[in-house]
Chains A and B, each alone.
Chain A
Amino acid sequence: MLFFSYFKDLVGQEVTVELKNDLAIRGTLHSVDQYLNIKLENTRVVDQDKFPHMLSVRNCFIRGSVVRYVQLPPDGVDVDLLHDAARREARGG
């Protein structure tokens, strides 16, 4: 549940979600659930070439299973802390 907890702490921050189909959507993280489904607000498409039809939707729900990356604000990540927490969780701690 590590990343679920981690993303919950990021609610309210700007993130860019890159989907497995290469679409990248930027928006404010509204909420996240245990499956890492993501709800974004004030969304806009980063690369408008592939999916021009969804240029600006106010809110969107992204299925967790189609997310490739979530790009985080650089100052929103404590890399060392996350590294240690991930290692602990992987070891069953």
Chain B
Amino acid sequence: MVVGGLREFALRRNGDGSPALDESNGEELMHVQPSVAVALGSRSVESPGTLYITSRKLIWLSDVDVAKGYAVDFLSISLHAVSRDPQTYSSPCIYTQIEVVEDDEDDTESTGVLDLSKIREMRLVPSDSTQLDTLFDVFCECAELNPEPVEEEEEESGHNWVFSADQMVVGGGGEEDAEWQISQSPTSVIGHSNGGDESIAQPMLELRINDQRFDDAEEMVHESETKDH
């Protein structure tokens, strides 16, 4: 799934003109607001249209032009707010900021065609301004439904924090068999850097034992008969 900024959207279902959703991926319609105008960036407002809020994205579809529609994923909406200040904007609206992927080729001046992916601000102006608080709440709800996707590595290996220069093994702190090593190994005193606080020493100790550089010390302790070195 490519997450960009604002984009064209014209996939409608037959009949009621509502947008086609990615139901196989769990996308569902959360709220429909008719009679909403949209203003992209500093452009003038476009209307009439209908706002469809799904669990994944925001879709505005023109009521008069079947081919005209815009969509933006909630993952790309940096912030949203209710704007009621008439000095800032003539009508009360939902103000949103869209995260734009910075492009090296910045040729916004070269073509007259509007590049939707560069739009950073979008206002949604419902003709019924009493609906603004409801819309704001739905936006909040949907934003919460779309947290940043977590990479798998982070979940499995747990903490990769480094506490000292000696600690060169990454991801060794989560071993379940490390507990017996603490009780048997006399090197446990080395890990006590904070006055004998074992809860802090434990992860450090596990890592030192798993570190290959300390293999000799272990062998000497557990296999005292070995005279190879």
Query: B81 at the A/B interface (Cβ < 8 Å)?
Result: yes
* B158 & A57 in contact (Cβ 8 Å cutoff): no
In the complex, what residue of chain B is closest to A19 when comparing beta carbons? B78
Bound together, the chains give a CA A33 to CA B121 distance in angstroms of 24
* A54 & B80 in contact (Cβ 8 Å cutoff): no
In the complex, what residue of chain A is closest to B88 when comparing beta carbons? A55
- The segment from B6-14, B107-115, B142-150, B178-186 found at the interface with A is B142-150
Interface positions, chain A 55-71, Cβ under 8 Å from B, are 55-66
Contact partner, A62, options B78, B85, B136, Cβ 8 Å: B78
Q: Give B25 Cβ to nearest chain A Cβ, in Å.
A: 20
Bound together, the chains give a CA A10 to CA B81 distance in angstroms of 21
* B121 & A19 in contact (Cβ 8 Å cutoff): no
Query: B200 at the A/B interface (Cβ < 8 Å)?
Result: yes
Interface positions, chain A 21-80, Cβ under 8 Å from B, are 21, 23, 25, 33, 35, 37, 39, 43, 51, 53-66
B interface size (C-beta, 8 A): 32
A interface size (C-beta, 8 A): 28
Bound together, the chains give a CA A89 to CA B172 distance in angstroms of 17
Query: A83 at the A/B interface (Cβ < 8 Å)?
Result: no
Bound together, the chains give a CA A62 to CA B144 distance in angstroms of 11
Contact partner, B81, options A43, A66, A91, Cβ 8 Å: A43
Query: A90 at the A/B interface (Cβ < 8 Å)?
Result: yes
Bound together, the chains give a CA A55 to CA B85 distance in angstroms of 8
Could you say which of B81, B147, B159 has the most chain A C-beta atoms within 10 Å of its C-beta?
B81
Interface residues of A (CB under 8 A from B): 19, 21, 23, 25, 33, 35, 37, 39, 43, 51, 53-66, 90-93
A-B contact sample (8 more), CB < 8 A, given A53-B121, A91-B161 = A51-B97, A53-B95, A54-B81, A55-B85, A57-B82, A57-B85, A58-B84, A63-B78
Bound together, the chains give a CA A58 to CA B95 distance in angstroms of 11
Q: Give B173 Cβ to nearest chain A Cβ, in Å.
A: 7
Q: When A53-B88, A90-B161, A91-B203 are in contact, do A61 and B143 touch as well, CB less than 8 Å?
A: yes
* B163 & A66 in contact (Cβ 8 Å cutoff): no
* B140 & A61 in contact (Cβ 8 Å cutoff): yes
* A51 & B121 in contact (Cβ 8 Å cutoff): yes
Contact partner, B148, options A51, A65, A91, Cβ 8 Å: A65
- Chain B residues closer than 8 Å to A35, beta-carbon distance: 144, 147-148
